[in-house]
């Protein structure tokens, strides 16, 4: 197998549509393709792959191949699929990398409604029958993220761009000119003086609107591992490009992720977040981490007057009473507290865990967070706060 640099040169000379890509972009795309093929490539594994490839030499195909096998594969069962994806992705005959055809959808098939009782064409005079079936994308929007396959999760990740993000606003102390509201006597008088004392048109003003702070507290413990990736994608979608959104990870300790999620590209942002969190898929100490958050970021920080959204299933390994005390503190200083539980959307769910029972009396909104459709409803709740 030729070197990556040689492949890139040959591809650029063979086709005019080829574009020059950065080495880390190519390698990151390979990890995404591997995840879509069914290999459980986590963000920390992808980051380790980039680091290993840089140390071994990204222009050496053999070194890159073994760097990926050592960092991206979690079991011997992944090796065969890794070889298949590697050969298909780094194929010098079709450029670097080769564009893969989208695999056929494996979702459940749906049959349209029969046109009439006999199954044949309707007779003249029969009323028109409306036939409808849900599209594959619409079905995917409502499915539980925890039960999706790797291919379905990759498709769902692209659908996060369709979420309509509208951040809440609040009235500020400053006044601004407006076409109605209260009379602005000062501006009206100045306008009259410019007209040599002649009556001028009345000027109006109202209080200006400012973005209300939003704080996202994402539980990344072991019990939330099936939803952590999607929740961080949602946090990236909400906070990217906004200075009024702060994101923190909750586990056995508190980790600020605002700067890590500031990258425009979602994949790069999630890899940076995975590197920043030292206790990914670890234990849960919600009461202690909330206390640290409130002591440092609460009364004089970003939580005052903010919409605070807590993403957690409520499993608390620490003292549930401490969690209740800290939630009471949070409710006193925040504008609104929203608790998002992935299990809330299941019909058989009941809030019987000690942590969630201690927190619910101090929560303004208790919503589901198990699907893309639930995320859209959550964004509406935040926008109206």
228 lies in the same domain as 202: no
Number of independent structural domains in the chain: 3
Structural domain including 327 reads 214-384
Read off the tokens for 360: 């619910």
Close Cβ partners of 75 (under 8 Å, ≥ 6 residues apart)? none
Give tens-digit pLDDT for 325-378. Answer: 999 999 999 999 999 999 998 888 888 888 899 999 999 999 999 999 999 999
- First CA to last CA distance, the chain: 58
Q: Is residue 122 part of a domain?
A: no
pTM of the full structure: 0.63
3-state secondary structure of 265: coil
**Mean of pLDDT values over 376-382:** 96
Q: Is residue 133 part of a domain?
A: no
Residue ending a domain, among 94, 111, 126, is 94
Q: Is residue 128 part of a domain?
A: no
Burial of 93 (0-12, 13-18, 19+ CB in 10 A): exposed
363 lies in the same domain as 277: yes
Q: Is residue 81 part of a domain?
A: yes
Q: Is residue 247 part of a domain?
A: yes
262 lies in the same domain as 361: yes
CB 284 within 8 A of CB 223: yes
Residue ending a domain, among 29, 62, 94, is 94
Give tens-digit pLDDT for 130-163. Answer: 455 557 888 899 999 999 998 999 999 999 999 9
Give tens-digit pLDDT for 213-228. Answer: 999 999 999 889 899 9
CATH of the domain at 275: 3.40.50.410
- CA dihedral for 55, 61, 67, 71, sign (positive or negative): positive
227 lies in the same domain as 308: yes
Read off the tokens for 104: 């056929």
Rounded CA-CA distance 223/289 in Å is 16
Which of these ranges, 81-85, 133-137, 237-241, 363-367, has the smallest mean pLDDT? 133-137
Report the chain's C-alpha Rg in angstroms.
27
240 lies in the same domain as 354: yes
181 lies in the same domain as 269: no
């Amino acid at each position: 197998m030729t070197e990556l640099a040689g492949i890139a040169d040959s591809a650029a000379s063979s086709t005019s549509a080829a574009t020059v890509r950065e080495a880390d972009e190519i390698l990151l795309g390979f990890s995404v393709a591997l995840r879509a093929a069914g290999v459980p490539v986590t963000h920390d594994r992808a980051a380790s792959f980039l680091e290993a490839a840089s140390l071994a030499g990204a222009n050496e195909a053999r070194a890159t191949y073994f760097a990926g096998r050592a960092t991206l594969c979690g079991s011997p069962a992944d090796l065969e699929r890794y070889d298949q994806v590697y050969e298909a992705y780094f194929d010098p005959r079709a450029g670097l990398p080769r564009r893969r055809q989208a695999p056929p959808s494996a979702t459940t098939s749906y049959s349209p409604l029969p046109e009439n009782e006999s199954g044949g064409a309707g007779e003249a005079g029969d009323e028109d029958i409306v036939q409808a079936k849900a599209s594959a994308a619409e079905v995917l929007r409502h499915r539980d993220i925890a039960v999706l396959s790797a291919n379905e999760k990759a498709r769902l990740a692209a659908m996060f761009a369709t979420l309509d993000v509208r951040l809440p606003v609040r009235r500020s102390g400053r006044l601004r000119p407006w076409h109605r509201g209260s009379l602005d006597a000062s501006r009206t008088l100045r306008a009259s003086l410019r007209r040599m004392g002649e009556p001028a048109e009345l000027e109006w003003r109202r209080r200006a609107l400012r973005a209300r702070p939003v704080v996202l507290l994402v539980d990344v413990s072991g019990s939330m591992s099936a939803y952590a990736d999607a929740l961080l994608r949602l946090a990236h979608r909400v906070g990217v490009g906004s200075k009024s959104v702060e994101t923190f990870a909750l586990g056995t300790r508190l980790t600020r992720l605002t700067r890590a999620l500031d990258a425009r590209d979602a994949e790069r942002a999630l890899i940076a977040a995975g590197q920043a969190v030292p206790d990914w898929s670890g234990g849960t100490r919600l009461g202690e981490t909330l206390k640290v958050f409130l002591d440092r970021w609460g009364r004089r920080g970003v939580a005052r007057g903010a919409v605070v959204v807590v993403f957690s299933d409520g499993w608390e390994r620490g003292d549930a009473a401490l969690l209740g005390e800290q939630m009471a503190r949070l409710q006193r200083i925040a504008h609104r507290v929203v608790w998002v539980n992935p299990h809330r959307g299941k019909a058989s769910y009941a809030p019987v865990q000690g942590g969630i029972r201690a927190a619910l009396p101090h929560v303004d909104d208790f919503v589901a967070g198990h699907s893309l459709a639930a995320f859209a409803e959550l964004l509406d709740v935040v926008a109206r706060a």
